[in-house]
Structure 1
Amino acid sequence: MTNFTIGEVSASSGVKVPTIRYYEQSGLIPVPERSEGNRRLYEQADIRRLIFIKHARELGFEVDAIRALLQLQDNPDQPCTVADQLARERLIDVEKRIVRLTALRAELQKMLESCAHGRVDECRVIEVLSNHDECIHHQAL
């Protein structure tokens, strides 16, 4: 069994050292063994788990959802309905965010198109930012 230092695990997984410690404290990865010098010693399975967590975070899963997904991964004989539901919930969140971002984009485009590029007292950007009721995205929220 090969043991890796936290620095080696960080380099292999792409997860920063403080984040690895946080995941350890949060229970997302098991507490590693310690060397005689009290250094953390990780295994290849820990690296794979960190890569899983990193990918889940990149997809926007919250820590609690990742914890649930890891529990499922640790018990592969279970049905995947919980994993499907977590992914479905994440997709709904992403779609809602896309709607909000699309409205924000439209508002910014409208502000820029309305700007006469004159003086600040005539600036549509400043006017809209000063009066939230004039925002398109305000109605979308």
Structure 2
Amino acid sequence: HCRQHGMSLSEIRALLAFSDNPNSSCDWINELIKQHIEDVEKQIEDLIHLKNHLENLYHKCDGGKKDGCGILKSLIEGEMCMYCQKDKLNIA
């Protein structure tokens, strides 16, 4: 179950060691889970960013253009993603 929740082997070892000898506070387990929640929130944010960027690229292609693909043109020219710029400027 721990691996399914994204825990590392060292974290699992620490949890197992604690479960064998639970004499101290388990506050560190809450902190461990809190950190994993923050990591998942960052991954979700990154995936939403990627989705927005891909959708922006997708709309650059109107199919069958004889003068080249808008998606490839954007990628080759290194056109900045409006979502990437927003992140760099820290605009909400």
TM > 0.5 between the two?
A: yes
Report the CA distance between 1:94 and its aligned residue: 0.7
Question: What is the distance in 1 between the residues matched to 2:74 and 2:21?
Answer: 53
Residues 106 and 136 in structure 1, CA contact (< 8 A), matched pair in contact too: no
Q: Which residue of 1 aligns with 2:19?
A: 73
- Give the TM-score taking structure 2 as reference length: 0.75
TM-score between both structures, scaled by the size of structure 1: 0.52
Query: 1:115 touches 1:125 (CA, 8 Å); kept in 2?
Result: yes
- Structure-2 residue corresponding to 1:122: 68
Residue 39 of structure 2 aligns with which residue?
Answer: 93
Query: Alignment partner of 1:129: what SS?
Result: helix
| C-alpha deviation, 1:97, in angstroms | 0.8
Quick one: structure 1 residues 92 and 118, their matched pair in 2 at CA, closer, same or farther if it must change by over 3 Å? same
Ranges in structure 1 where 5+ consecutive residues have no aligned partner: 1-54
Q: Which runs of 5+ in 2 are unaligned?
A: none
C-alpha displacement of 1:121: 5.0
Structure 2 counterparts to residues 15-34 of structure 1, below 5 A: none
- 1:5-43 CA deviation, whole Å, 9 max, x = no partner? xxxxxxxxxxxxxxxxxxxxxxxxxxxxxxxxxxxxxxx
Question: Structure 1: which 4+ aligned runs deviate by more than 6 Å?
Answer: none
Q: Which has the higher contact order (CA 8 A, sep 6+)?
A: 2
**In the comparison of the two structures, how many residue pairs are matched?**
87
Identity %: 32
Q: Is the Cα–Cα contact under 8 Å of residues 72 and 83 in structure 1 kept in the other structure?
A: no
What is the alpha-carbon distance in structure 1 between the residues aligned to residue 67 and residue 23 of structure 2? 66
> For the aligned residues, what is the CA RMSD?
2.2
3-state SS in 2 of match to 1:86: helix
